[in-house]
Structure formats: structure tokens, C-alpha cells
Structure 1
Amino acid sequence: MKKIVFITGATSGFGEACAHTFAANGYNLILNGRREERLKTLQQTLQQQYNTQSYLLPFDVQQQSSVFESINQLPDEWRAIDILINNAGLALGRDLFQDASLDDWNQMIDTNVKGVLYVSKAVLPFMINNKKGHIINVGSIAGKEVYERGNVYCASKHAVDAISKAMRIDLLQHGIKVTAIHPGAAETEFSIVRFKGNEDTAKTVYQGYQPLSAQDVADIIYYTASLPPHVCINDLVVTCTQQANSYHFNKK
């Protein structure tokens, strides 16, 4: 029987790359995202390229009722979830604290923090029942240190770091692995979303160095998921070679 991986935020970036990587390695997939048409297109592509099955859950991780209703209605054959990748997340705005938008703050907290909590809480009964599972939380280097104009985005990713540590302790008795992956600069739709569709500004973020790609991060996530049952990578920070931390780059 094929293993099942559940990926949130699967319609772009790390999530979409993870869908391809896990499908290529023989997994069936539960795919979540807000953009249902993109999910359907991805489902068809994965079926054609890898002959893998996928089940679509088009909900917004911010919406508590939608999360629990959708996951609780999974057919029995899709409940044996081996891996949950909490990937859905975003940054909005790059403003000084005093100038930042409350709407941006709320959306980042609701997606990056509450979304991780809601989806994990809904999926965990299946993993606990199976006495195994692996939760992989996609954090950020911004969850390790704070940078100027990062304020609430950094706070939300610090929360992911803390939640991952708490999960690891509390779920130890159930044999469930918890891994937190903290990427540095990676060129996806991330900056376009952060700058609210301004592609020219988004492109300047990656000038002068080669950032991580979505595939780079997906490969690392897959590696952490493919280790023997007795081995767990708890916490991993990954950057491109030209980045030392959140604010030191060697740009050329």
C-alpha cells in the first residue's frame, strides 16, 4: 500500500514542489490549497507524470471550521496519513512596526500560526490511532532571528519554531516525528505576495546572489521524511551559500 502525504499550500512554491517530489517517489497525496482550479490542474499533472493518486481538500487553513469539516470527512482509505507537511504560509508587507497594517498582521498570524495548529490538530487523531506519523512544519530563518521591518512575520515564524518544539515533546509518547525546516531566501511567489503583486520590487530581493529554489527545499523535506523510523531531524536551517543569516548576504 502506498504511503500518504498531506501537503498544505500545495498550489505553488514549496508545496507544489513537494507534491511533485513525493509523487515521483511513489506517494499518494492529499493536496490542500485555496485555489481549487490550480489544485485540479496539479492533480491531473501528477496523475499523468507519476501515475499517483491524489485527493483534493480546497480549504483555507485560516478557517477553523473548514479545516476540521474537510479533514474529518476524509474517506477511510485516505485517513492513514503518514506525513503532514504544514507548508501554507505567507508574508505580507515590509513595513516598520508603527506603519504596518493590522490586516496584514492578522492574516499572517491566522495563516502561519493558527493554520499550523488547526491542520495538525485535525490530522493528529489519525496518526495517534496508527501509532506513527511525521509532521513537518515549514518555518523560516525569520523564526530564528528578527530583522528590520520583519516584525509580525518574524513573530509568526518564531511561533512555528516554538510549536514544533512543543509538538515534539507532547507527541513523543505516540511515536510521531516532528521536524521543523527553516529556509532562508528562496525564489518562489513568496516575495510577490509579500509586496502585494509588485513583481519588480519582488525581483530586487534576489538580485546579486543565487537564492534557494522551491525544488531545493522540497528535496530537503523529502530527505527528512525518508530516513529510518528511529531517526528524526528535529530542526534544520537551510540557506543558499551566499546567505549567512537573515540579514548577511554576499551579493555580487
Structure 2
Amino acid sequence: MWDTASHVMLDTAGVAPFLGVQRDVVGGSGGSWERLLQGTPLVKRRVRRKQHVIRAGQPFRGLFLVQSGVFKSALISEDGRERVTAFPMRGELLGQEALDLAVYPCHVTALDDGEVWELQPFLLRQCIPGFQERLSGMLASEIRRDWQWMLALGSLNAEQRVTSFLLDYSTRLAERGFSATQMLLCMTRADIGSFLAMQIETVVRTLHRLQDQGLIEISRSHIRIVDLPSLRAQSKTLN
């Protein structure tokens, strides 16, 4: 399943740049991922594009902290249809929805080559008193984010959904020190459509319409935001 694996102790200086927006959420008042996980034994794993990190129905064995790469989390229906629920990236956790379950409810797949750090539950309980309480802040934030997307999907038209997605992705990249206007979308148009509850043809048409309006430029998987203020005006921003 895994490309390579190695056991490490957390190097807080090395992980700090990868924590993104969640560093304040998880740690609470003045806390952060690096302080929360300092001294915790971790298993570092390399993953390849299209490789599964988690399979739905697999026994829960721990959480995964994304060190690099972009991933796709999806629910699989009984008839095999996939519903994309998130695109986790650097500094975000994988598998947290299974914290109170015996098995993982979602598939998580790498959309490009990357690295995850496996956090063993029993070690977290031993090394980090109150870990569950600290984690609850991040989970509450994710629930609010899910609600905002549910509201968006129920109230926004196709163009607003796509622009909201692009703006949200741009913001997340900027929070991690990347360009807010130059984006490589590792996911397919079908993945975006699944996440936004849209047909792939509608996603493609909407992207090209935004390009025709001079708001973005498209080159296969690369998207450049040409006019960020006008793109924001097209959408209700997700806070």
C-alpha cells in the first residue's frame, strides 16, 4: 500500500511551515500543531498519485497529517457511486471522521505524489493529555465549513458555486505560502463536479465562461486568476 515508511520523532522546526490555518484551531489559545505533537513518535509515509491512504470500511488505526500533496476524500454509495467530500492539503488531517468509529467511512486518495505522517491513537492518548478536547476545536471548525458549503450548494447557481470553489482553493493555497492566483488543480473536473453537486459538463462550461469574461485563464489543470476582485464579486465568499 505504501511507497516508503519511516519512523521519526516530530521535528517541530520542520513541520511548522506545513501547518497552515489549523495551527491555531487545534492548539486552542496560543497552541499549535508543533506544540501539540512535540515529542510524539510518528510514522512518515510517502504516497503516490492515485494511491489510497484510507479505504472505506478499513479498521480505524489512526489519523494522518498531510505533509505534502493534495488528497481527495469521498463517500462511496452502495451502488458504487462516489461523492467527493473534501480536498485535504498540507497541514490538514485525514481520517478524523472515524475517531468515534470502528472503521473509516471514507476513501482518501492521493491526487498527486505526497507524504503523510501517521499518528497512532494509543500514542496520542499517552503523549498528549486532552488530545480529544484539543481536536474538538478543529472538528467544530470543519463542521461550520461543511455547513457553509451545504448552504452554498443549496442557494448558489453554477457560476457562483465554481467561483466559490476557486476562491476557497485560492485562499487555502495562500494560507500555506503559495500563490493565490496561480493554481494547479490536481483533481479532475468530474471530482470538482462531485464536490459541488454539478454535472461535469456544467463545470467545464462554467470555467470556460469565466475565462471568456476575462476572470481566469485555463491551461489544462493550471488556472490563473486574472481578476481576483471581480471573481470575488461573482460569488458569496465562504468565511
- Answer yes or no: same fold by TM over 0.5: no
More helix by share: 1
Per the normalisation by structure 1, the TM-score is 0.22
TM-score (norm 2): 0.23
